[in-house]
Structure 1
């Protein structure tokens, strides 16, 4: 195997909880909710699927179906989709919906899985190319830099920068070309069978991990090192 491609959210990093997300924005903006209101609002935001990288909507509003399907194809579509979901939930200030969206793009909102650095470092030491292929609407590179993982990544292929999203094989093809790797010698690691499984169309092998909280998934990436022997 010549290279490994990793998904971002739910694979290498996990976004903060919806409650933490809301608390952070309220603190940043000086807005106040009672503890009871905060918890109920966070729950409503989670059910709405308003936190990118968090839970999917319990029930997607019919008027957002088309937008949701292409949300990762551009920065504008991504913001429109998630702020539309957020606005289904009343907040003390309408401006908080945009503030919430901005918060989720900050490095502070993301935590790497415990074994992410170890695995990426080991791959680099073995001379194996590493790419990040993500369905996303914003630049995640600062997250990797802030958490010290950027030195281990050779290329980033982000859906919004290419106008296509996984499982479209074109996104995986761009990553393989950037790494100079034959797709048949590439492993794709992700948490979504429908999205990340698209790499098989090129002949890539695929390894799946569970999208779990950081504390509940300490070593799911370690098998990657065995697969690359």
Structure 2
């Protein structure tokens, strides 16, 4: 049984797929997009983000990263005035609707805290993440927030896991890491002796509630 539980954020605690956050926002704003092009539009945006997020440490750098990432996917979706819409998205970064919580996220975190677990974020994200966690109301649940851009190493690099263990005062054999990526989360955690648990927040058979069965 784990004393400490690490959590990924994007795709684990916050729904990262554009259909879960971008489409509802654009629909609300009345912005037309060709969603049949999503499979081609999304990968270049995600690749750009992943390639540059470690350099986006400050608030300003993070917003610029999101501006370019958003513009890339909007252009791929055929959105008119994609640059202006991207500016609008960045200006609304503190709208919780842009960061929709995964089903059961809050109840699972509350249950783990009630069991006395130490909770730590371990996420490949830019320097905006601590503020995002405040915006969506998850920050109070965590004893530490370890962000790749702020430590200079991204999962599956062992350094980010070692940093999280040090901040939590945790032992790897008594720690569980919860995430959605077989390589970054499961592979990275297992390589340093941490038990991994892969979840799919949109699949009721593998959503976040499975954490409570093993932690």
Question: Which TM-score bucket, shorter chain as reference?
Answer: 0.7 to 0.9
Question: Secondary structure in 1 aligned to 2:153?
Answer: coil
Corresponding position: 1:210 with 2:214: no
Corresponding position: 1:190 with 2:179: yes
Corresponding position: 1:73 with 2:76: no
C-alpha deviation, 1:46, in angstroms: 5.9
Distance 1:147 1:127, change over 3 A: same
C-alpha deviation, 1:101, in angstroms: 4.4
C-alpha deviation, 1:96, in angstroms: 1.9
The residue number in structure 2 matching 1:127 is 116
CA-to-partner distance for each residue in 1:152-177, whole Å, 9 max, x for gaps?
Answer: 11111111112221111111111111
Q: For the residues of structure 1 that align with 2:50 and 2:207, how far apart are their CA atoms? A: 29
Q: For the residues of structure 2 that align with 1:196 and 1:125, how far apart are their CA atoms? A: 25
Superposed CA RMSD: 2.9
Q: For the residues of structure 2 that align with 1:218 and 1:21, how far apart are their CA atoms? A: 28
Question: Secondary structure in 1 aligned to 2:119?
Answer: strand
Return 5+ residue gaps in structure 2 as ranges.
none
C-alpha deviation, 1:102, in angstroms: 4.7
The residue number in structure 1 matching 2:105 is 116
1:222 aligned to 201, 209, 212, which one? Answer: 209
Distance 1:113 1:68, change over 3 A: closer
Of Structure 1 and Structure 2, the greater helix share is in: 2
The residue number in structure 2 matching 1:92 is 80
Corresponding position: 1:23 with 2:16: no
CA-to-partner distance for each residue in 1:109-161, whole Å, 9 max, x for gaps?
Answer: 12222322222112212221101111112423344334433221111111111
The residue number in structure 2 matching 1:54 is none
The residue number in structure 2 matching 1:47 is 40
Kept after mapping to 2: 8 A contact 1:115/1:218: no
Distance 1:148 1:134, change over 3 A: same
The residue number in structure 2 matching 1:9 is 10
Kept after mapping to 1: 8 A contact 2:5/2:120: yes
2:126 aligned to 121, 128, 137, which one? Answer: 137
Distance 1:135 1:189, change over 3 A: same
Return 5+ residue gaps in structure 1 as ranges.
50-56
C-alpha deviation, 1:84, in angstroms: 3.8
Residue correspondences, number: 202
Kept after mapping to 1: 8 A contact 2:200/2:206: no
Kept after mapping to 2: 8 A contact 1:5/1:189: yes
The residue number in structure 2 matching 1:201 is 191
